[in-house]
Amino acid sequence: MRRLVLERRMETPWALTLASPLLAVGLTLVSAVLVFLAMGRDPLEALFVYFVMPVSDLWGLQEVAVKATPLVLIAVGLALCYRSNNWNIGAEGQFLMGAMAGGWLAVATHGMGAGAWVLPAMLAMGALGGALFALIPALLKTRFGANEILTSLMLVYVAELLLDWLVRGPWRDPQGFNMPQTVVFAPEATIPLLMEGGRLNLGTPIMLLVVVLVALMVARTLKGFEITLVGEAPRAARFAGFDAKRLTWTVFAIAGGLAGLAGVLEAAGTVRMLQPGLSPGYGFTAIIVAFLGRLNPVGCLVAGVFLAITFIGGENAQIMMQMPLDVTRVFQGLLLFYVLGCDTLLLYRVRWVRRAEA
């Protein structure tokens, strides 16, 4: 008798780490072709509409950048958390909290003709709001040993309901026909656009700057080494004198701050108001981005752009090929499925063993 077992690899070859997400993408593409064929569509045309059209002109590139910006910002912060074994699942809540903290200033100063200080202050408050909100699960973890997966996830609902209440109640636009939304932010509370005829705004350069800074921090600083070491070898990290609890506070604050910054950038840049549907699940999609990017800041950038392309490609497929929305959803599901599947095969070796041996 022989059976199949998964055996943990002692060491994952470096090349495979890079190949895994590529393999996942490749398998998704193959599946996509099969789905298109089954639907009776030309697979080449469909793949073109999905993956090439979104990046084939300046307008499309701008839209991809706009969509990728919040995903990458959040994912970079989450990558730091996950590297150090801090499982922050609540970026969605930290994103919304940042949007609310920054958006409050926009609502409070609306119609007062406030000066240019408003926007920088909003960004700072957004980052601060997200960071403080993320410190709640950090506190609960370090002080009481509460599982941060649960606490951070539960706080997402708290943030969602708070936003819901604010835009239905105290912050509702008095001229908005009772729709649950704030006023449209005044120009001084809106992120400036960078190009005529598109929606690219200052958020994208900020995101790129963050990616560079975090990549440098991970690769070149002691703090970066500490984050990796605490995650991979907690005992060794203790011997080296690193304080795992302090690090939990640090990474939660950074991740929450970046998610909060993404939130206020989205509210003041793309949506220009607060409303309950502010985030189409950016905080959760960013978890996929972080893992697809192998918890590496630059990897997160690549993965975030890729996911943004599939999202906009899905809309294009509806527009150009009259394909239903469900097909897009199927692809995003398949991608995650293959990423996780491929990762399993990288971390583990599949082996046939004799039952007698086991």
Give residues in contact with other proteins (CB under 8 A).
Answer: 59, 63, 66, 164, 168, 177-180, 184, 196-197, 199, 266, 270-271, 275-278, 280, 312, 315-316, 318-320, 322, 324-325
Q: Report the residue number, 164 or 243, with the smaller CB distance to other proteins.
A: 164
Query: Using CA atoms, how far apart are residues 214 and 293, in angstroms rounded to an integer?
Result: 14
Q: Report the residue number, 176 or 234, with the smaller CB distance to other proteins.
A: 176
| SS3 category, 168 | helix
Is residue 279 classed exposed, middle or buried when 0-12, 13-18 and 19+ CB atoms within 10 A define those classes? Answer: buried
How near is the Cβ of 223 to other proteins at its closest, in Å?
A: 35
Who contacts 121 (Cβ-Cβ below 8 Å, separation ≥6)? 105
Residue 178 neighbours by CB distance under 10 Å: 9
Q: Report the residue number, 111 or 178, with the smaller CB distance to other proteins.
A: 178
| SS3 category, 352 | strand
How near is the Cβ of 268 to other proteins at its closest, in Å?
A: 13
Q: Report the residue number, 228 or 270, with the smaller CB distance to other proteins.
A: 270
How near is the Cβ of 202 to other proteins at its closest, in Å?
A: 17
How near is the Cβ of 34 to other proteins at its closest, in Å?
A: 23
Q: Report the residue number, 56 or 221, with the smaller CB distance to other proteins.
A: 56
Going from the C-alpha of 277 to that of each of 46, 100, 274, the distances in angstroms are 29, 13, 8
Q: Report the residue number, 54 or 77, with the smaller CB distance to other proteins.
A: 54
How near is the Cβ of 279 to other proteins at its closest, in Å?
A: 8
How near is the Cβ of 277 to other proteins at its closest, in Å?
A: 5
Going from the C-alpha of 180 to that of each of 96, 167, 169, 238, 275, the distances in angstroms are 15, 5, 8, 50, 6
Query: Using CA atoms, how far apart are residues 239 and 83, in angstroms rounded to an integer?
Result: 19
Q: Report the residue number, 79 or 278, with the smaller CB distance to other proteins.
A: 278
Q: Report the residue number, 17 or 275, with the smaller CB distance to other proteins.
A: 275
Q: Report the residue number, 58 or 209, with the smaller CB distance to other proteins.
A: 58
- Give the residue ranges of DSSP H helices in the chain: 14-38, 43-47, 58-83, 91-108, 118-144, 148-168, 203-220, 222-232, 234-239, 244-265, 282-292, 297-321, 325-347
How near is the Cβ of 325 to other proteins at its closest, in Å?
A: 5
Going from the C-alpha of 234 to that of each of 41, 139, 246, the distances in angstroms are 52, 19, 13
Query: Using CA atoms, how far apart are residues 348 and 7, in angstroms rounded to an integer?
Result: 5
Residues paired with residue 13 on neighbouring β-strands, in sequence order: none
How near is the Cβ of 327 to other proteins at its closest, in Å?
A: 12
Query: Using CA atoms, how far apart are residues 50 and 140, in angstroms rounded to an integer?
Result: 43
Query: Using CA atoms, how far apart are residues 210 and 260, in angstroms rounded to an integer?
Result: 13
How near is the Cβ of 178 to other proteins at its closest, in Å?
A: 4
